[in-house]
Structure 1
Amino acid sequence: MEKFMLIFRNVMEVESMYENFSPEDMQAELQKWNTWIGGIAAQGKLIATDALLPTGKIVKGLNHVVTDGPYTEAKEIVSGYLLLTAESIEEAIELSKGCPMYEYESIVEVRPIQNFEES
């Protein structure tokens, strides 16, 4: 089994849309996520998942310049991630297809994780 990271990318308009959800709409949205993630967990393929808060700092360059971000500079933001195991990148892509983010034309980036112990 290989490890993969699914990186959830949203445009700012989608992120701000969540702020206007009613409690019922937010509960329905969370249920979609729980169902999808629960399906991956039920297959024994889930390693970890988390959402990221829409705040943070960016540290750049040799001088370690710290700025607010990443949102002042980006059109899209990373809103969360999921770590999973799969036999191949094709299987990881198939598992990603149930992600609720696709309903909003958002992006799920599927990336293999390099295992340095095997290198």
Structure 2
Amino acid sequence: MDEYLILMRLDLITKGAQPSPEQLQQYMQQYQDWVATLTAQGRFVSGTGLSTEGRVLKAGNVVLDGPFAETKEALAGFITIRARDFDEAMGWAQACPILRAEGNSVEVRRISTVHEPE
């Protein structure tokens, strides 16, 4: 089985897209249930959330503040899963509860090494 990265992006700036504290608690429970299902199926590898603070390094030793949450979609976190193929990974990603909110998205990428041909 290959490993796939599921990147989760949330709309952090559209006022109408922001959940109430109660909704946030419900969303977190749905997310935990989704991860529990992945784990029970032997598909979950790892994952974590990300803060909205950061810095960007560019060539020439240039350091920029950011990324900034002012962009419509901010990278909120990621998980790594095992799947037989890209289609199965997409199926798991489509079940991600963050997709229930308007403006959110997930991106799926197969994990490869620099030594492995694409």
- TM-score scaled by structure 1? 0.83
* Structure 1 residue corresponding to 2:46, chosen from 41, 45, 48: 48
Measured on the aligned residues, the alpha-carbon RMSD in Å equals: 2.2
The number of equivalent residue pairs is: 115
- Is contact 1:14–1:104 with CA below 8 Å preserved after alignment? no
* Structure 2 residue corresponding to 1:100, chosen from 97, 103, 107: 97
Amino acid corresponding to residue 60 of structure 1 in structure 2 = K
CA separation in 1, counterparts of 2:70 and 2:95?
30
Identical-residue share of aligned pairs (%): 29
Q: Which residue of the partner structure matches residue 58 of structure 2?
A: 60
Q: Which residue of the partner structure matches residue 29 of structure 1?
A: 27
Amino acid corresponding to residue 42 of structure 2 in structure 1 = G
- TM-score scaled by structure 2? 0.84
State yes or no: 1:111 paired with 2:116: no
Structure 2 residue runs of 5 or longer lacking an equivalent are none
CA separation in 1, counterparts of 2:69 and 2:13?
14
Q: Which residue of the partner structure matches residue 6 of structure 1?
A: 6
